[in-house]
Chains A and B, each alone.
Chain A
Amino acid sequence: QQQVKQSPQSLIVQKGGISIINCAYENTAFDYFPWYQQFPGKGPALLIAIRPDVSEKKEGRFTISFNKSAKQFSLHIMDSQPGDSATYFCAASRAGGFKTIFGAGTRLFVKA
């Protein structure tokens, strides 16, 4: 009930390509789905987030697609750049002061 499953574990993309990372959740009580970006030696930082009342959210080159019926959401990075190379975590939480659950992470490497 509390799990968030993330794939792939690692991803290599050419510069300018599209990076896609997928997540699935089980608990339908979750109502907030953020993505965090982590660079080596740093803590994760919020990148973009979505609520289940919308199917897509776009911020610059980053887009979240959300499928409530399938209980899945994904991160798309358009025009991927070497500076996007990092570990990406999807997460889920629910209103009422409950903990945030993270996926296992995806290590993205963008080749120049």
Chain B
Amino acid sequence: GAGVSQSPSNKVTEKGKDVELRCDPISGHTALYWYRQSLGQGLEFLIYFQGNSAPDKSGLPSDRFSAERTGGSVSTLTIQRTQQEDSAVYLCASSFWRQGVSGANVLTFGAGSRLTVL
């Protein structure tokens, strides 16, 4: 597509429920990122996929969070047993970034999925 598409744009759930957030990156982009932005806060790195390499999961805050990227394209971020502190905007970004190649790693972000846990 023309841009990074995220769905749903808004999700309200009850504490303890599982949620799935979807990201459809720009076609041909090899790298995909998930960030979390809490109200008035910065961009907290969650996870990073680069081509066929093992993902960098160093930013996932707990084992309730997981993500996968199928076929090198669409990614799903899953939050199990949601807590109120999980309420935030979850941003996905993609870039045309190849391992070992220097160059500008320009991230294109989606509009985000706003998660509210009641």
Name A residues whose Cβ lies closer than 8 Å to a Cβ of B. 6, 31-32, 34, 36, 41-46, 49, 89, 93, 95-105, 107
Residue B33 at the chain A interface, CB threshold 8 Å: yes
On chain B, the residues within 8 Å of A105 by CB distance are 41-43
Given A43-B93, A105-B43, check contact A34 B101 (CB 8 Å): no
In this complex, the interface size class of chain B, counting residues with CB under 8 Å from chain A, is 20 to 34
In the complex, which residues 87-118 of chain B have their Cβ closer than 8 Å to any Cβ of chain A?
Answer: 91, 93, 97-112
Complex-state Cα separation, A101 to B111, whole angstroms: 19
Name B residues whose Cβ lies closer than 8 Å to a Cβ of A. 4, 31, 33, 35, 40-43, 45, 48, 50-51, 53, 56, 91, 93, 97-112
Task: Pick the contact of B99: A93, A96, A104 (CB < 8 A).
Answer: A96
Write the nearest CB–CB distance from B73 to chain A, whole angstroms. 18
- B105→A93 contact, CB < 8 A: yes
On chain B, the residues within 8 Å of A36 by CB distance are 107, 109
